[in-house]
Chain A
Amino acid sequence: MSSMEALLKDESTRNIRRLLKVVILITIAGAAVSSRLFSVIRFESIIHEFDPWFNFRASKYLIKNGFYNFWDWFDDRTWHPLGRVTGGTLYPGLMVTSGAIYHILRMLSMPVDIRNICVLLAPAFSGLTALATYLFTKEMKDESAGLLAAAFIGIAPGYISRSVAGSYDNEAIAIFLLMFTFYLWIKALKDGSAFWGALCALFYFYMVAAWGGYVFITNMIPLHAFVLVLMGRYSPRLYVAYTSWFALGTLGSMQIPFVGFLPIRSSEHMAALGVFGLLQLVGFVEFVRYQVPSRQFKTLLKALIFIVFALSSAVLVLLTVSGVIAPWSGRFYSLWDTGYAKIHIPIIASVSEHQPTAWPAFFFDLEMLIWLFPAGIYMCFSTLQDQHVFVIIYGIMASYFAGVMVRLMLTLTPVVCVSAAIALSNILDIYLSVKTPAAPAVGAPSVDERKEKKPRVNILSAGKDSIVGIYSKASRIAVVAAFSIYLFVFVLHCTWVTSNAYSSPSVVLASRLPDGSQHIIDDYREAYYWLRKNTPDDAKIMSWWDYGYQIGGMADRTTLVDNNTWNNTHIATVGKAMSSREEVAYPILRQHDVDYVLVIFGGLLGYSGDDINKFLWMIRIAEGVWPDEVKERDFFTPRGEYRVDDGATDTMKNSIMYKMSYYNYQSLFPAGQAQDRVRNAKLPAVGPTLSILDEAFTSENWIVRIYKVKDLDNLGRDHASAAAFDAGKKKSKRTKAGRGAQRKLRVV
């Protein structure tokens, strides 16, 4: 036992301990990487979901055209006919990172495909996140807590959900940058070092380049500084650390075109600027107080400071009101009022990851960490140093945000891991200690013992001294065994969640054949590849915005709207076209040069994420722009049901979305037996007819259906009467014959 103690503490075994630490960290990084590879092993090395397809496409563009062209990239293959100033409206950090890795590997003559770099970037960075979390936690408590935190963040599902192989999104590198920037901040604050402050600013700049969530850092660090000042913990260290971070970091962040002058013009960044000013004032006061020991003068100064502070706040408000400083953006309002988005910005509310978090999600994503988290926060209170204040603030803020929006679970996860590690490491420190404490005198511990411990005099840590030691071996074994079991269960849970919930590429669906073998449903790629190979290179595809990035990435065709959602009106236009009658939709399609319309239909397979289920959002978004032309109410039956069967409203049945989804579908079934397996509805015996569109392609399982927009009729008729004529019906009286063979577009 004593040899064990020697190994852990002795100076002579320092190298062995260091080696052990490195090995443990490498193992943790290995576990973090390998647990994210489920999808690669189960499916293939493929880019997942939606946004990653854009990032992937942008990375390919960067590699092909070089950095400066990437910077100036105007993309005319999205948002037709508007185009998108892509180079100026994205966070380039991710693409530049993978581009740099690509070029370095090239230089080392390792010609690795850019797709594989993109797919494996997130797992690789999760290994680095584990390292950054280790460093951060080490600053909070000690190395063993750091190792625990690294292990936790490595496999916590809350972080894995955004960083599995293939999920090539900004968050993939942002969480590493977040943790590393925080670590550098703590380091700078502890040492009062301008060097660490500058490093912190450098990584802050990287973070700004990588993710819109940099605003979290922009507000966390000032908040920490502010709270420290309020707690009376102002010190030259804080001044040096903060000012060097703020000055360099702000200048750095302004280099990103998408950010530009936001740091001095938008409300989200004002806190940092305000705290910067406050620190100057406080610094000045401290300086003056040091010089002038007069009591009255101090009072005067305090008043002066208060006035300056109040004045500058007033100026800030004034500037905001007058519009010089942009007010809080909608996305931020939705963080305060969860109902805000639903009313004002349906496009944000329509994204499932922007919904408030359900309670079970916390347990699902963090398991036992979630109940260790408050304990860790309590431990931070009990040794309340400057850096612990940071963890406390971070914990509180992140908890709130994670409760408001599902996707912000991501920012909560690191702090939960850190504080859970602090808590667990404390428990293990106490219960794993082999030494039996000397039996104290009956009653309170002696005064000498107290002095040795040198507790910080603090109200919050008042109860600390009551813990004096664990005497019985049984209790030690019981507690340690219990926690070992918890840890095992935690690992099992993380693996299970990762494998079952977070490792599906969503581009490729998996199902099981009756014999248990895996069957891959690859309809998306089938249809996208068909588009890529068999349509003209400049064909314009209209689809709901969800599929914009995928069409751009896989089909390589021009889209009308995509997941960038920068232009709500344009999206509403698409929504209007989808929810209108054919006569109304056709002019919209023609005016936007649409060649093909793509819809997702899950009725045959029971795939619930299809367009009919998303249809209400299209209607709502369209209604937001054209309240007179599109009305959500018309799509519901008088009893308020959303139906697609015989009982569907006429507006529903006549919308081209409905028609495109169910066109020809009934002919797969015996007469009158057509069944929609998603909505469990029996469809009308007579299927919808289409006169402005031709079915061009339908994928194997009908998930993707592509329609070609018909050209104008050669005889100048509208399509409905042309179709009726072809079907041999009598010409309707209203359309006069011989109005000339003039092809014209009728705008209804």
Chain B
Amino acid sequence: MRSLKNWGALLLPLASLFSLTLCSSIDSTPVLPKDFTPPQVFKNSNLLRTIDITKPYVRETIAMVIDNISKEPQVEYYVPITKGILDNISYLEARGEDGPHIVSPVVFNPESEIQYYRVLFNAPLSAGKSTKLWITLAQTDCLIPVPALIGQNDKQFLQWTGSQYAASAYVTEKQKTKIKFPNNEVPNFTVLEKNGESDDPTGAGSWYTYGPYKTVNPAQEGGKAITLRFEYTNPVIKMVKMERHIEVSHWGGNIGFEERYWMTNLGAKLKDTFSRVQWASTSYYNPPTSAIKQLTFPLIPGAQDAYFTDEIGNVSTSRFRSNTREAHLELKPRYPVFGEWNYSFVVGWNYDIENFLRVSQDGESYVLKVPFLEGPKDSVTYGEMEVTVVLPEGATDVKYSPPIPLVSEEEYLHHTFMDTLGRTAIKMKAVNVVDEQHKKELIVTYRYPTMALYRKPFVIFTSILTLFTFSWLVSKIDLKIGK
């Protein structure tokens, strides 16, 4: 939405391609000198870090009160990230009291162990003032199964390694870290020196707390490493690759979705080989298992014609429940997917276009609003993700606003059934996406002249007419040699 609002008026006359290039120039990452260190203009007077490891990825929320200790108003706040985990960061978002802030990674010395994200305040923070800031980030691929090999019916444990202190580029006066586990089963956790009188960590059940700690300098970095090992009763589902294909058809009054998944289970591997006897005998009790048995796709009510196939055909073990209030696509892979096993599949469904498309008053401009990502209810992470939106043939002036950061985007022509020119399509690629982004929406606006609507019937009519005329002419030619 942001991009549309800001430059919509400015760019309307320009072709959509230009808007894309401009888009990247405004959002472009700040380039800073190689020896950059954030100026010490802030102090975190209070900080609460919450680490949520209930899902196959780690979600970290840092809530803090920051004071501007410099003499001038400040707009830039830097968040340090260790280089090693930079590639695992799915997203990093910041929000202040006045709503979300723009966050962008900083480009400077690529050799530096610490890299930064820059948070840009909506309004400068005056000298001496303080404000609240929330930073949320998600990190994928950082939970490893320990032990790496388990029996088919054994419990699965995951291990997470993190730091004692929240990473900050500024002095933090007071802080603590709370950790949320998926359940009460936490067999191993790092016990630190007693913090004053109380134990560190404290807490029990599914919540543990490290801290509170007094004044921590940025030089101390994370402090001591903490390692937590906890039971994880669900499979660690990762979609190594996912392609989502959205096709809009004005003629059919239909919007078709097709998703291709390359799925793997990052959980613990089987110690021995798979035993069908054991699997069959335990599946009666439906115990928690580290294998992927089933995936449920909650779709928007109104979904129709759902299908579930893979590279060798239809998978009969699926169920589609659809009524006016809900639509659930329940998939069972052909076989239970244990640790480090793979499975790839395709799902697809259709919707009536009416609920997703609005036409403007001139009758030729359209606004399409679709979920950027749907996907299973089960917690998943995505490695590479590609979303393609195919608009009708002849659509022009395409503008869109992706709800999540992309690594690349392109506009191209997609050739499919009886197209002459090819359909306008946009392809967006993202990496390290987590299931929190599932319900975010993608808005695409485009112009689709009425003439373009009649292109296809006209082309078909003309070609058939040509064919008949041609065959009539041929039948009139007399090739006989002798009379």
Contacts and interface: CB of A to CB of B under 8 A. Distances in A.
A111 B341 CA distance: 32
Given A109-B415, A534-B342, A529 B335 contact: yes
Given A667-B277, A695-B275, A697-B335, A533 B343 contact: yes
A664 B275 contact: yes
A643 interface: no
Contact of A529 (B277, B311, B314): B311
A459 B272 CA distance: 83
Contacts of A43: 314
B377 interface: no
B274 interface: yes
A533 B341 contact: yes
A662 interface: no
A513 interface: no
Nearest to A533: B342
Q: Name the prevailing secondary structure of the B interface residues.
A: loop
B265 to A, nearest CB: 11
B418 interface: yes
A702 interface: yes
Given A111-B417, A522-B334, A702 B311 contact: no
A108 B358 CA distance: 32
A679 B273 CA distance: 29
Contacts of A667: 277
A697 B274 contact: yes
Contacts of B280: 668
A108 B463 CA distance: 11
Interface residues of A, number: 33
B334 A530 contact: yes
Contacts of B311: 529, 532
Contacts of A553: 312
B383 to A, nearest CB: 16
B316 interface: yes
A427 interface: no
A528 B310 CA distance: 12
B312 to A, nearest CB: 5
A23 interface: no
B416 interface: yes
B106 to A, nearest CB: 41
B274 A44 contact: no
Contact of B277 (A525, A528, A664): A664
B84 interface: no
B5 interface: no
Interface in B237-275: 272-275
A311 B219 CA distance: 107
A618 to B, nearest CB: 24
A525 B313 contact: yes
B344 A533 contact: yes
B409 interface: no
Contacts of B274: 695-698
Contact of B314 (A46, A533, A700): A46
B352 interface: no
A520 interface: yes
B275 A529 contact: no
Interface in A49-105: none
Interface string A173-194: 0000000000000000000000
A579 B335 CA distance: 30
A44 B308 CA distance: 12
B2 interface: no
Contact of B312 (A108, A528, A697): A528
A525 B334 contact: yes
Nearest to A524: B312
A109 B418 contact: yes
B275 A46 contact: no
Contacts of A525: 312-313, 334
Contacts of B312: 525, 528-529, 532, 553-554
Nearest to B340: A534
Contacts of A664: 275, 277
Interface string B294-314: 000000000000000011111
A694 interface: yes
Interface string B311-325: 111111100000000
A291 B117 CA distance: 107
Contacts of A532: 311-312
A44 B313 contact: yes
B276 interface: yes
A534 B416 CA distance: 33
B419 interface: yes
B313 A110 contact: no
B273 A696 contact: yes
A708 interface: yes
B386 to A, nearest CB: 19
A632 interface: no
Contacts of A520: 316
Contact of A111 (B310, B334, B416): B416
A88 B316 CA distance: 38
Interface string B335-352: 100000111100000000
A101 B345 CA distance: 27
Given A46-B314, A522-B317, A696-B274, 15 more contacts: A44-B313, A108-B418, A110-B417, A111-B417, A508-B316, A522-B334, A525-B313, A533-B342, A553-B312, A664-B275, A695-B274, A696-B273, A697-B276, A698-B274, A698-B275
27 contacts: A44-B313, A44-B314, A108-B418, A109-B415, A110-B417, A110-B418, A111-B415, A111-B416, A525-B312, A525-B313, A529-B312, A529-B335, A529-B343, A530-B335, A532-B311, A533-B341, A534-B342, A553-B312, A554-B312, A664-B275, A664-B277, A668-B277, A694-B272, A695-B273, A697-B276, A698-B274, A702-B276
Q: Which 7 A-B pairs have the closest CB atoms?
A: A698-B276, A520-B316, A44-B314, A526-B334, A533-B342, A554-B312, A46-B313
